[in-house]
Chain A
């Protein structure tokens, strides 16, 4: 003790307060600014608001009942009565597009919510605990990736009526592997970061470290992959519907609207018929991709201002 006592003086003011300009700009504000700096992302977000808005308000916006058939008006070109024309059964294309947006977006969001949930849970556990558990979980990921999901889907569709929920289920169960790998990588590098070690030395429990300390740091890539994922699912739903394996008529989805145009006569004679649903798919997927890229920039700590 002698050494300290020699040196011990009456406690004096020992710290010169450093210049600390309190610019209370939170991380979120900064990210918002970075997102807004990306023009395409802003356009994407703008389109997205319009698309989601029209899906939500479809019952008020739709000029007609989407399943009302007026056979006399079949394949009417865009005009006064049918703004975007009528389909082969004489149903209003605009109304069907609006209601179809609901289905396509529902399938997109719900499937991605499911697959992100599964993928994040599996990836977090694998990455945080490592070792044998990690090895086992990653082999399961490999197995799911190599599973011939299209054949399972065809089988399911032949046995059951392919409902919106089967479709969501299938997309969720087969779509989580990418997220799992991504989240695992994030956790793998974050678990050995100094702030996680510091949290451990303070007695914070593993569960809390996973959820409150690491997960928020991995949120950026997760949100980006979710955003891109929604576009992917909408595209996949369209592809399946086009093959007749997706949402079944009379429920309108953009995919099955395209499918019913699958006929050279219609394609050539009534060009507007496949054009509008195809255009909506394109715009929506593009919008999600633009937003995803914008979010990626916003979350990237390296791009600072």
Chain B
């Protein structure tokens, strides 16, 4: 399978010279065509910033991409003129968000919002755009799509709005769909519907999906590969089965442990001790060292690199360093 997106040494920083918040501190990963990759990690680790960096929508002027490249089919999106980005956003890469209640414009009809995107990217007339909009709404499971076009978002439930968002994001057949916590704000039954829908989309359109979540249950439903982030860095990349069967990085182990399990009658709740480092905090050595149960001297002095273990697996931890193994 060929590579669709390749992110190399991406660094996105906030703040000024005096105080820098390294929201993303040098990340590398690839997404293949048609593949669903999950990006997981605790709140504030830089998941949303990763997606906004890809979109070229890092909030300026406080934030900016300071280094690295983002190659979409070989074209570097970093530093691409805004004019070209208008043609890429929504057409090549689209995005859905966590809060379906607020991600539709309250004063525009569903039809207006859908057709304007279609007209902009596919350069078709109004009638044709409307037909396409109806087709998309049918696809995401609405039965009275034509009527829905004239409706305002406030009449729809959260789950319906999220489906409208998906219809909008998919309307121009993007190659990559970034879903930032798409189900977090929905209740469980609706969550399942939206996940099924995304599964269907990735299959039928062979769209690549970058799924951002902190819910490992969602990850196991949908993703083929998982990227684990901690404090702006990638700490582990693994195929889904490997990750759950034998997590390498102590942080990944902790994340999997913290999924609530019911054993017998007792519900066991585990959480990783300590807190994520404060934004802007300068840490010597491994960023996870302070919370790690397997920490040893070297971790506090040096920063481990992201080491490739085999074809599909990388980890950033001295436990898997050859020198240490000796």
> Are A and B co-members of a single complex?
yes
Given A1-B34, A27-B154, A203–B87 Cβ distance below 8 Å? yes
In the complex, chain A residues whose CB is within 8 Å of the CB of B99: 194
Say whether B279 faces chain A, with CB atoms less than 8 Å apart. no
In the complex, chain A residues whose CB is within 8 Å of the CB of B87: 203
For residue B173, give the distance in angstroms from its CB to the closest CB of chain A: 13
Say whether B202 faces chain A, with CB atoms less than 8 Å apart. yes
In the complex, chain B residues whose CB is within 8 Å of the CB of A131: 61
Segment with Cβ contacts to B, from A12-20, A69-77, A104-112, A169-177: A12-20
Question: Which residue of the partner chain, among A1, A24, A202, contacts B35 with CB atoms under 8 Å?
Answer: A1
Question: Which residue of the partner chain, among B1, B104, B144, B196, contacts A15 with CB atoms under 8 Å?
Answer: B196
Whether the Cβ atoms of B241 and A22 lie closer than 8 Å is no
Within 8 A of B (CB), among A204-240: 204-205, 208, 212-213, 216-217, 219
Say whether B155 faces chain A, with CB atoms less than 8 Å apart. yes
Question: Which residue of the partner chain, among B97, B120, B160, B204, contacts A194 with CB atoms under 8 Å?
Answer: B97
Cα–Cα distance between A122 and B155 once the two chains are bound (Å): 34
Whether the Cβ atoms of A200 and B89 lie closer than 8 Å is yes
Question: Which residue of the partner chain, among A11, A15, A23, A26, contacts B193 with CB atoms under 8 Å?
Answer: A15
In the complex, chain A residues whose CB is within 8 Å of the CB of B55: 200-201
Whether the Cβ atoms of B97 and A197 lie closer than 8 Å is yes
Cα–Cα distance between A200 and B116 once the two chains are bound (Å): 12
Say whether B107 faces chain A, with CB atoms less than 8 Å apart. yes
Q: How large is the interface on B (under 10, 10 to 19, 20 to 34, 35 or more residues)?
A: 35 or more
Say whether B9 faces chain A, with CB atoms less than 8 Å apart. no
Segment with Cβ contacts to B, from A2-10, A92-100, A241-249, A251-259: A2-10
Whether the Cβ atoms of B203 and A195 lie closer than 8 Å is no
Residue of B nearest to A130 (CB): B61
Say whether A268 faces chain B, with CB atoms less than 8 Å apart. no
Whether the Cβ atoms of A201 and B89 lie closer than 8 Å is yes
Whether the Cβ atoms of B108 and A216 lie closer than 8 Å is yes
In the complex, chain A residues whose CB is within 8 Å of the CB of B159: 18
Whether the Cβ atoms of A1 and B141 lie closer than 8 Å is no
Given A17-B141, A217-B106, A4–B224 Cβ distance below 8 Å? yes
Whether the Cβ atoms of A11 and B120 lie closer than 8 Å is no
Cα–Cα distance between A2 and B86 once the two chains are bound (Å): 35
Say whether A159 faces chain B, with CB atoms less than 8 Å apart. no
Within 8 A of B (CB), among A12-67: 14-18, 20, 22-24, 26-27
Interface centre among A8, A27, A195, A216 (most CB of B within 10 A): A195
In the complex, chain A residues whose CB is within 8 Å of the CB of B131: none
In the complex, chain A residues whose CB is within 8 Å of the CB of B21: none
Say whether B78 faces chain A, with CB atoms less than 8 Å apart. no
Question: Which residue of the partner chain, among B34, B160, B163, B224, contacts A2 with CB atoms under 8 Å?
Answer: B224
In the complex, chain B residues whose CB is within 8 Å of the CB of A149: none
For residue B314, give the distance in angstroms from its CB to the closest CB of chain A: 19
Whether the Cβ atoms of B86 and A205 lie closer than 8 Å is yes
Whether the Cβ atoms of B103 and A198 lie closer than 8 Å is yes
Given A14-B141, A27-B154, A202–B61 Cβ distance below 8 Å? no
Say whether A199 faces chain B, with CB atoms less than 8 Å apart. yes
Say whether B258 faces chain A, with CB atoms less than 8 Å apart. no
In the complex, chain B residues whose CB is within 8 Å of the CB of A189: none
Say whether B19 faces chain A, with CB atoms less than 8 Å apart. no
> What are 30 residue pairs bridging A and B, where the CB atoms are less than 8 Å apart in the complex?
A1-B1, A4-B199, A4-B202, A14-B200, A15-B141, A15-B193, A15-B196, A18-B157, A18-B159, A20-B157, A22-B144, A22-B151, A27-B106, A27-B152, A27-B154, A192-B59, A193-B102, A194-B97, A194-B103, A195-B106, A200-B89, A201-B95, A202-B117, A202-B120, A203-B117, A203-B121, A204-B120, A212-B108, A212-B116, A217-B105
Binding site for A on B (CB under 8 A): 1, 34-36, 55, 57, 59, 61, 85-91, 93-95, 97, 99, 102-108, 116-117, 120-121, 140-144, 147, 150-152, 154-157, 159-160, 163, 165, 168-169, 193, 196-197, 199-200, 202-204, 223-224, 239-241
Binding site for B on A (CB under 8 A): 1-4, 7-8, 11, 14-18, 20, 22-24, 26-27, 130-131, 192-195, 197-205, 208, 212-213, 216-217, 219
New contact pairs (17) apart from A3-B224, A195-B104, CB-CB < 8 Å: A1-B1, A4-B36, A14-B141, A22-B155, A23-B155, A24-B150, A131-B61, A195-B102, A199-B105, A201-B94, A201-B95, A202-B90, A203-B117, A203-B120, A204-B117, A217-B106, A217-B107
CB-CB nearest 4 A-B residue pairs? A15-B141, A203-B90, A202-B90, A203-B89
